[in-house]
Structures are given as structure tokens and as C-alpha cells.
Amino acid sequence: MSEICNPLVTKMNVNKALPLAGIRVVEFTHMVMGPTCGMALGDLGAEVIKVEPLTGDSTRRLLGSGAGFYPLFNRNKKSIALDLQSPQGREVVLRLIATADIVSENFKTETMQKLGLDYASLSKLDERLIYVSHKGFLPGPYDHRTALDEVVQMMGGLAYMTGRPGDPLRAGSSVNDIMGGLFGAMGAMAALMQRQQTGRGQEVQAALFENNIFLVAQHMLQFAVTGKAAAPMPEKISPWGIYDVFKVKDGAQIFLAVVGDTQWRVFCEAFGFADLFADTRLATNNDRVLARPWMMPLLRERLADHSAAELAAVFERHGLPFAPITDPQHLFDDPHLQATGGLAPMTLPDGRQTATPLLPLTLDGQRLGLRLDPPRLGEHSRALLQSLGYGDAEIAALVDGGVVLAPD
């Protein structure tokens, strides 16, 4: 990994008031969906307090493709570790919630009800409270089912669209979890706006399945418009004449696109393909879409002797769309991300240094930076208890009694 101490890649906005400064969020979340909501609210300036069991969020210990979940989705948060099964632990958390604007959770409804931490219970204590629930399904016939990102991708058409015919394939990211959490954050911010007018909070619900349906809605509407079922992406009828990965010199690959008739003229001029530009069968984009069965093999043959770097240079020089095929780990070295502050230095809970991608937006020309590294388990327990009015002796009793984990 390249050096990440670039002055543009720093813990930004430390001294600048962020939009959600002064908003307190208490979250009971794990895995991806719920933590994403808190991450977004935290990045926007909210104080986000993650309530964890004494053993910690199990996401801290995931292997393989889950190893990055905890550090990515739990930055800009504080951690308090409590035994919520004990009366003392529930007393602590209720005192904490009494100071909150938002409660966010992604556990089973029955779990929160048994703890007395569901919306119906908490809203009786504070009518201004905003409560964000992240579920597998919104209320309806499926809401009793256990959902995962891959489950809803399979039943919601996304895996069908991603894979080849007869070979459904999940997308290469936790797209429903991440987007579902972002919709939860959007709902929380809308509820904050409405609370300014009404003085009342409300429950916000976001769900994996409904998020997935939103992702495939374009294909549903494609059927509504054309009367023809959408083909999976590897077999789709492209809306553009050239919109493909090309295998070129030395076995390298590059994605090239030529969308629209102006770009077709530029492309043909750049590579000296006057014969193709003059071919009336390729005059318009729709003509080229229909000609793909014979046009694409011809283009692949003509471009095969060029290197990926040569093609990238020509496409960039002429303003044509292109992309290298990049593995995720190489994005740490991406010059654009490094130059624009898209990566922020971060300390992992075990003390190692790395960088993390930030939310893909700017406010007043600045990226929303890192204020707090992903917390160690119970890292802020003691300070939070003190802020709630617990004295040193009371805190010591809670720690000694196994109710709170509060490392020094």
C-alpha cells in the first residue's frame, strides 16, 4: 500500500461544524445494514454510540469477506459494552437513550421487545425519539423470514440479472445491506426535519428485500415498456453499440465504451476506421446495437494488438469512456482517490494503520472525514457512564459485577 500520510488525506472537518453536530444516536447493530446507517450519520457529524454485548459485536471476529465489515462500518462511533440481560445494564442503556435523538437497531423485533427497547416501549418515554429499524422485509407476508443480502438478491431478481442464464450470482458487494443502511439514515434525517415542525419523533423502517426491489426496478420497468423480459447482464441486449470488456495485447483487459453517434465519429477518427464510419449499417447507435453480432468480433480483432495502456491513452485524449479492470486492493494506490482526499488514514482496533474510503460526496467542497477510529470494545464505557451521572464507585461496582466492560 502506498504512503497514506498525504496532507489531503487527513482527519478532516475536525474543527468545522458538521450538519448533524449535536445529534446523539444510540445504536444496537451488528453486521452491515444497521452499522452503515450509524456510519453515515456519524460521518455527517452525529455522536454515534454503539451499544455492544460484553463479548463484543460478533462482526469484530468475522473472517474472509467479512473481515472488513467492522472497521469500515463502525468508524466515527463510540463503544459501550453492557450486559443488557441484567437490570443494571438495562438501567444504564435507558439512561443513555434518554439523552438520544435517534435509536437505530437491526435485530429481530422480538429481541428488542423482550429488552423493552422496541419503538412502542421507548416512544412512551420520549415522544421526540426517532427510532430506525433495519429489517429483512417491511411488514407483510415475508416479515417473519430471516433475510440476508444474498437471500434477497436471489429472491429479488438481482442474482438472476448478475449471473449467466441458469447460474444466478450475487453481486460482488453487500449492496442491499449498504444501501438499506443508507436509506435508514435518509429516513432518520427526514424524521429529524419533520420533528422540527411537529415536535414528535417517529419510527423509520428500511429493509433488505425492498431495497433489492428498488435496485432491479429498472428491469421491471424495462419489461413494462417493451413487453420483453430483461436478460441477465452477461446476455443483455446493450443499449449501446460498444460497451464491453476487450482482451488486448499480452492478455490484458480493458473496458471500452462508445455511446452515441458523436462518440462513434470520434472513435472511428481516432483509430482510422473510416470504413466503419462510412458503413451505412453502423450509421446510428441503434444500428450498431443491432449489428453487434458481426461488429464486435471485427472490433475485437482490430484492437487486439494494442496494449491496454495505448487504448486508455487514446480514449482519455478523445474524451471517450474507458476503465482499467482493477482489483479492490489496488484502489489504495489510486492516484485520484489519494489526490482528492477520498481515503482517510485510520487505526484499526488492533493498532495497525490503514486507510478507509469516505462517503462519496462533498459538503462545501470538503469530504466528510474521520473523527473517530473504529472503537475498541468498551473503549468509551467509562466516559459515557460518567456523562450519565455515574460516580467512580458506581462505575467500579458495575465493572466488578460484570455489567459493564470499561477497559482503562
Compute the average pLDDT of residues 164-171.
Answer: 94
CB-CB neighbours of 205 under 10 Å: 17
Is 80 exceeded by the pLDDT of residue 7?
Answer: no
Where, residue-wise, is CATH 3.40.50.10540 in the chain?
24-217+334-405
Compute the average pLDDT of residues 49-77.
Answer: 96
Is 90 exceeded by the pLDDT of residue 239?
Answer: no
Compute the average pLDDT of residues 149-169.
Answer: 96
Q: At 305, which amino acid appears? A: D
Please list the residues that pair with 343 across neighbouring strands. 357
Is 70 exceeded by the pLDDT of residue 13?
Answer: no
pLDDT value for 236: 77
pLDDT value for 302: 97
CB-CB neighbours of 211 under 10 Å: 26
Compute the average pLDDT of residues 59-88.
Answer: 97
pLDDT value for 408: 82
pLDDT value for 6: 42
DSSP secondary structure, 148-195, as one string:
-HHHHHHHTTHHHHHSBTTB----SS-HHHHHHHHHHHHHHHHHHHHH
pLDDT per residue as tens digits for the range 397-407: 999 999 999 99
Query: What is the C-alpha to C-alpha distance for residues 336 and 323, in angstroms, rounded to an integer?
Result: 13
**DSSP E strands: which ranges in 57-157?**
77-82, 102-105, 130-135
Please list the residues that pair with 51 across neighbouring strands. 80
Domain 24-217+334-405, CATH number (from 3.30.70.100, 3.40.50.9100, 3.40.50.10540, 3.40.50.460) = 3.40.50.10540
Choice between 119 and 3, residue whose per-residue pLDDT is larger:
119
Angle, vertex CA 370, rays to CA 171 and CA 357, nearest 5: 25
Query: What is the C-alpha to C-alpha distance for residues 217 and 158, in angstroms, rounded to an integer?
Result: 10
What 3-state class would DSSP assign to 115?
coil
**pLDDT tier at 15 (50, 70, 90 boundaries)?**
low
Query: What is the C-alpha to C-alpha distance for residues 344 and 371, in angstroms, rounded to an integer?
Result: 10
Is 70 exceeded by the pLDDT of residue 11?
Answer: no
Eight-class DSSP state of 250: G
Please list the residues that pair with 49 across neighbouring strands. 26, 78
What 3-state class would DSSP assign to 273?
coil
Residue 395 · residue 406 · CB < 8 Å: yes
Query: What is the C-alpha to C-alpha distance for residues 98 and 121, in angstroms, rounded to an integer?
Result: 13
Query: What is the C-alpha to C-alpha distance for residues 263 and 265, in angstroms, rounded to an integer?
Result: 5
The CATH homologous superfamily of the domain defined by 238-328 = formyl-coa transferase, domain 3 (3.30.1540.10)
Q: What is the crossing angle of helices 33-43 and 175-198, to 10°?
A: 50
Please enumerate in sequence order all residues whose Cβ is within 8 A of that of 245, keeping only pairs 6 or more positions apart, or say none: 253, 254, 255, 325
Query: What is the C-alpha to C-alpha distance for residues 41 and 181, in angstroms, rounded to an integer?
Result: 10
pLDDT per residue as tens digits for the range 363-396: 999 999 999 999 999 999 999 999 999 999 999 9
Q: How many helices (H) and strands (E) does the chain have?
A: 17, 14
Compute the average pLDDT of residues 3-21.
Answer: 58
Where, residue-wise, is CATH 3.30.1540.10 in the chain?
238-328
Please enumerate in sequence order all residues whose Cβ is within 8 A of that of 87, keeping only pairs 6 or more positions apart, or say none: none
pLDDT value for 5: 39
Compute the average pLDDT of residues 290-300.
Answer: 96
**Size (the chain), residues:** 408
DSSP secondary structure, 301-351, as one string:
HHHTTS-HHHHHHHHHHTT--EEE---GGGGGG-HHHHHHT-EEEEE-TTS
Residue 136 · residue 145 · CB < 8 Å: yes
**pLDDT tier at 303 (50, 70, 90 boundaries)?**
very high
Among the listed ranges 18-32, 175-189, 236-250, which one has the minimum average pLDDT value?
Answer: 236-250
pLDDT value for 10: 41
